[in-house]
Chains A and B, each alone.
Chain A
Amino acid sequence: MGRFLLTRVIQSIVTILVISMVVFLMARASGDPVVLLASDKATAQDIALLKQQLGLDQPVPIQYWVFITNAVRGNLGKSLADRGDVAQLIGERLPNSAAIGIPALFLSTVLGMAMGVAAAVKRDTWIDKSMRVVAVLGQSMPAFWVSIMAIFVFSVLLRILPTSGMGSPDHYILPIAVLTFFALPMRMRLMRSSLLEILNTEYVKQARAKGLSETAVVWRHAVRNALSPQLTSFGLTLAFAITGAVLVETVFSWPGLGLLAYQAMLARDYPLIQGTVLLVAVLTIGANLLVDVLYAYVDPRITY
């Protein structure tokens, strides 16, 4: 177990380093940052001075080393657009994203699993079919369009919820609802398929044969064993929720990380989007590492 943990931690660090290299090299591809920073009237001498100040006269590997050691210390550079500190900007936005992201992840997990259990137990009935319709719609409709249509129905037609922005508790309802709707299908489909598989196993037959009630069979014996695939897929759901968050936050003008990334893209603010991508990389890779470790505890059959 200790050895497994160590290799997984090293693998995760290597993955983060690889992503940071890609991000760093992409920054070179975006053109000379000096040209973006220097004013029109700058002379050749000014530009040379600026290059020296920014460390851009150094060889690329050394520049990368400076970049990565700064990043580890929490120094992600300055935003090109408003010269603000990137780490600070991200720090201000992160709690706002968490405020809609965490409730949405929680709701989609609980609802998705409940719907998956219902669909598997009532297989091929109208319950199963309607659950599948919800899942298929969630997987096929574009998140940004559903957000806009939700604003149209609830804010423009019914006038019961605010259109966008942040403030009263009412502002939270639509973004959380839309995000939940998109994270839900993956949970539901997975729960349904793993439960169907388990309901066919010998030990479930045994539990039924000894006369347990169907409730006990499903909840005490089957559902518990269908939980570990849910854990494994958490990393994927998180990635999915972050993609959804960029779109949902943009539509609802929700001042989170997603909106920050969108604004950075519009302003072609490379340091800002670079910092956001790095942070998200650390988050998703960390979540996947945590899931792998938890998995070993949850499922005693797994040995590494």
Chain B
Amino acid sequence: MVYPVATHYPVSGARFAAQSGLKYRLARAWTVSRKIPILPTAIIGLFVLFALFAPQLSPYDPTQIALPQKLKPPIFVEGGSLAHLLGTDNLGRDVLSRLIWGSRVSLSVTGAVVVVSSLVGLLIGLASGYIGGRTDSVLMRVADGSIAFPAVLIALLFAVSLGPGVTTVILALSVLSWANYARIVLGQRLHLRQLEFIVGARVIGCSPARVMAMHLFPNLLDIWVVMITLQVGLIVLSEAALGFLGAGVPPPTPSWGSLVSDGRNLIDTAWWISFFPGLAIGLLVLSVNYLGDWLRDRMDPRLRHR
């Protein structure tokens, strides 16, 4: 008697499916990684390199004032030179160097906000469901409220009352962002809670903490990661907006937003001062959003075309 062997695995790593363990996982990771969009990943990678190796990569000191060199145009415009690839600002500071150093501030603030808000949102989303009842509904109303409130205004309020600084920016942006994670975790959790393996885990006496950490969290991981990639773009844009308004990381530390603001009043004579930092913000957000959409489609085909 020959039993039919299941050969119709819908996943691409089908032939590895029989062998579990490391070999299968490596093979699957390889199949997935070959399909990662190259251009967006490369752009993100470039900015991460900028941020990590700013001292080595930037040709000049970003805060060094050199008045004889002021308002030099970028290399591809008439009058530009190899000395300053992207030109200089009205104080003779090198635009490229400032852009490279600016990526450091923008990316580290974004990273900190993503870590803080995604963890806080995850914990609140998980815990509020367990406590349930009135606490749950109050917390979710708070989450709804903070999503529907204009982001920049809250951040301005924070900047006025706490004074501008790195901590203020991280705090303000986290306050704006956590609710998105909490809501999506809650939505998923409501659905997961009824599934048999969760009910089973509770029946055999697992503590709530164990159920959350060992059973709920692994099943929330996909959607949590997708949410992070979709939020990163928004955080980069908000951080830049705060920097632009002067409510971000205070000078002389350059951030992308404040660099755009530097060139604002010189737009009729030296467009490159504002143009390149803004282009960097746009390119990074574009790449992150593209990657986020790609990841969402891969992890949850039901969400495609939304």
Interface residues, chain A, with chain B CB atoms under 8 Å away: 11, 15, 18-19, 23, 26-27, 29-30, 136-137, 139-145, 148-149, 151-152, 156, 189, 192-193, 196, 235-236, 239-240, 242-243, 246-247, 250-251, 261-262, 264-266, 268-270, 273-274, 276-277, 280-281, 284-285, 288
Interface residues, chain B, with chain A CB atoms under 8 Å away: 141-142, 145, 147-154, 156-162, 233, 237, 240-241, 244-247, 257, 260-261, 263-264, 267-268, 271, 274-275, 277-279, 281-282, 285-286, 289-290, 305-306
Contacts of A29 in B (CB 8 A): 161-162
Known A-B contacts A250-B245, A266-B246; A145 and B150 likewise in contact (beta carbons under 8 Å): no
Q: Is the interface of A mostly helix, strand, loop or mixed?
A: helix
Known A-B contacts A19-B145, A152-B267; A262 and B245 likewise in contact (beta carbons under 8 Å): yes
Chain B: minimal CB distance from A3 (Å)? 16
CA distance A251 to B260 in the complex (A): 11
Contacts of B157 in A (CB 8 A): 23, 26, 273-274, 277
19 chain-A/chain-B pairs, Cβ below 8 angstroms: A11-B141, A26-B158, A136-B289, A136-B290, A141-B286, A142-B281, A143-B241, A144-B241, A145-B278, A148-B263, A149-B275, A152-B268, A193-B305, A239-B148, A246-B150, A246-B156, A265-B159, A280-B149, A285-B145
Asked whether B244 lies within 8 Å of A144 as measured between CB atoms, the reply is: yes
Asked whether A243 lies within 8 Å of B150 as measured between CB atoms, the reply is: yes
CA distance A268 to B168 in the complex (A): 14
Asked whether A239 lies within 8 Å of B149 as measured between CB atoms, the reply is: yes
Contacts of B152 in A (CB 8 A): 242-243, 246-247
CA distance A269 to B157 in the complex (A): 10
Chain A: minimal CB distance from B300 (Å)? 14
CA distance A26 to B278 in the complex (A): 32
Asked whether B245 lies within 8 Å of A246 as measured between CB atoms, the reply is: yes
Asked whether B233 lies within 8 Å of A139 as measured between CB atoms, the reply is: yes
Asked whether A251 lies within 8 Å of B264 as measured between CB atoms, the reply is: yes
Asked whether A148 lies within 8 Å of B267 as measured between CB atoms, the reply is: yes
Asked whether B240 lies within 8 Å of A140 as measured between CB atoms, the reply is: no
Known A-B contacts A15-B141, A265-B156; A284 and B148 likewise in contact (beta carbons under 8 Å): yes
CA distance A262 to B278 in the complex (A): 20
Q: Which of A141, A270, A276, A285 contacts B153 (CB 8 A)?
A: A276
10 new A-B contacts at CB < 8 Å, known A142-B282, A193-B306, A243-B152: A136-B290, A142-B257, A144-B261, A145-B260, A242-B153, A247-B152, A265-B159, A270-B161, A277-B157, A280-B149
Contacts of A265 in B (CB 8 A): 156, 159-160, 245-247
Contacts of B306 in A (CB 8 A): 189, 193
Asked whether B162 lies within 8 Å of A30 as measured between CB atoms, the reply is: yes
Asked whether B149 lies within 8 Å of A284 as measured between CB atoms, the reply is: yes
Contacts of B147 in A (CB 8 A): 236, 239
